[in-house]
Chain A
Amino acid sequence: MSDDAEPEDRPRPPPGALAGLGLGALGLLRAGVELQGVARRTVYWSIRGRRARGVVLRQCLEVGNRSVFFVSVTMGFIGMILVFQSGLQLLRAVPDLQMMGATFLEALVRDLAASLTALMLATRVGAGIAAEIGSMVVTEQVDALRMSGVDPVNHLVVPRFLASLVMTGVLIVWAGAVSFFAGCATAYFMFGVAPRTFLNPMLVDGGDLLTGLTKCLAYGAAIPVVSGWCGLSTFGGSEGVGWATTRAVVNSSLAVIILNFFISGASFLVFPP
């Protein structure tokens, strides 16, 4: 070390276990406060902000249309796998598969379509949002927006938030339909269940629809807000963008799972099976 080194430049001893735990807790608290701030400003600017024509539509195309193929293929295969596996299990217990379609449809409407599609969107859409905003942060474009008096949340997160609110719902309905019909075909070819028997909506009630719709809105809101926050908190260069993208996928997926837990729990209490 050079003689003119300042006292605060000298290496500090590594924190002990307790101090490390405290630092981790503080970091988590700070992240929570930042995320809450982004969420609050997103809602505020969604109501109060003005947007150039076509901005939200362009994001609808990015979030929605460009996810259709990925979501359709994945949910189609998941539908086939779920029906095949549950058919095998059911046959061990009961010889009758008449209610398989009705049960599958209820599970899709109440939970599976929304949660599985949202997990896929968390990877595709969440990573895209974080990478785009993160690269704007490291090239100082976000600072340039702030210097022009523009809240980056209004300019970058809100259009994606509004697009995601709409398109996540649309994609979930579409993905649920693809999954159901793929399951229907599997039931017919593997177990001989007639499509007319499989297409049985008798178990789906208003509570299931409301629970599914609530999940659509919650996931559609959470993914762009969490990913936008990860993008805005990027630091460093291209490595920082990589980290932000990874954090966006992990945190958005976690948000979907945690929201699923709470919404399902609330739904169980309000609409008991």
Chain B
Amino acid sequence: MLELRGVSKAFAGPVLRDVTLQVPKGCLYGLVGPGASGKSVLLKLLVGLLKPDAGRILVAGEDVTDLDEIQLHRVRQRFGFLFQNYALFDFLTVGENIAFPLRQLGLTDEDELVRRVAERLQAVALSGFEARAPGGLSGGQKKRVGVARATVTRAEVVLYDEPAAGLDPVTSQKIFDLLAREQREAGATVLMVSSDVARLLTVTDRVGMLYKGRLIFDGTTEEALGSRHPVVKQFLHGEPDGPI
């Protein structure tokens, strides 16, 4: 479903180096790695928010690397995206935030919009929050509104960037369970980036690990947990001593 072939990206210094990765259709793929290893950049490359310096990016077999902004609009309609910093529009209410992608897809039936927003808010346990302003929500509530907005269009592919960052352990686990349930119900392909490895691995089918911009591991969750690669082993088990 998602494929990167030899993708490299640099800003002031190299961020991704020759990354090749495949995410199969319907898979819940977890991408892990230490801070600044290029995880968020990889997500943004997939949807054309950033352009790679080298390599190709394919979505459902279509090469989207060189598409312009208007062509990318069509590709992005297949995606839902939860941003690391929630990215809720502060000039809209919670309800309007969730309805925003639907309106841009051309849905104008107000009753249907209200119904879809209420259904999504119920799914993330925030019923009745439609008229609230994003500024008045806690971090966990903002994340859940972000999840509602990312999933409201029932996209084929959903990308989650640090869905539980900064949340307490209970809320984190609730968020991961919610995302896994959403993925099972919708049958979507999910690529999830998280530093909360312990909780992430409870929901993933496959795992990839980025280290210094390189994909050093790609396999099933069980293979990841049993990996003898010193970096993977140290990171996944949180060992203080090792190459990292």
Contacts and interface: CB of A to CB of B under 8 A. Distances in A.
Do A and B share a complex? yes
A141 B86 CA distance: 8
Contacts of A149: 73, 76-77, 104-105
B75 to A, nearest CB: 10
B199 interface: no
B129 interface: no
B87 A141 contact: yes
A94 B84 CA distance: 71
A91 B211 CA distance: 78
Contact of B83 (A8, A9, A144, A150): A144
Nearest to B17: A6
Nearest to B150: A147
Contacts of A140: 83-87
Interface in B9-23: 10, 13-14, 17
A147 B85 contact: no
Given A147-B76, A149-B77, A139 B14 contact: no
A140 B47 CA distance: 14
Interface residues of A, number: 16
B67 interface: no
B90 A143 contact: no
Given A139-B85, A140-B83, A143-B87, A148 B100 contact: yes
A144 B100 CA distance: 10
Contact of B49 (A143, A148, A150): A143
A8 B13 contact: yes
Interface of A: 4, 6, 8-9, 139-141, 143-151
26 contacts: A4-B212, A4-B243, A6-B213, A8-B10, A9-B14, A139-B90, A140-B83, A140-B84, A141-B89, A143-B44, A143-B49, A144-B81, A144-B89, A146-B49, A146-B69, A147-B76, A147-B79, A147-B101, A148-B76, A148-B101, A148-B104, A149-B73, A149-B104, A149-B105, A150-B104, A151-B69
Interface of B: 10, 13-14, 17, 44, 47, 49, 69, 73, 76-77, 79, 81, 83-90, 100-101, 104-105, 212-213, 243
A32 B101 CA distance: 32
Contacts of B88: 141, 144
Contacts of A6: 14, 17, 212-213
A141 B87 CA distance: 5
B157 to A, nearest CB: 12
Nearest to A152: B69
A145 B76 CA distance: 11
B139 to A, nearest CB: 13
Given A140-B83, A143-B87, A144-B83, A8 B76 contact: no
Given A8-B10, A143-B81, 13 more contacts: A4-B212, A6-B17, A139-B85, A139-B86, A140-B83, A141-B89, A143-B49, A143-B87, A147-B79, A148-B101, A148-B104, A149-B76, A151-B69
B218 to A, nearest CB: 20
Please name the 9 residue pairs, one residue from A and one from B, whose CB atoms are nearest each other, closest first: A140-B87, A144-B87, A140-B83, A149-B73, A148-B104, A148-B101, A149-B104, A147-B81, A8-B14
Which of B86, B87, B101, B243 gathers most chain A CB within 10 Å?
Answer: B87
Nearest to A9: B13
Contacts of B47: 147
Contacts of A139: 85-87, 90
A148 B101 CA distance: 5
A244 B90 CA distance: 20
A239 B81 CA distance: 26
A139 B17 CA distance: 26
A148 B49 CA distance: 12
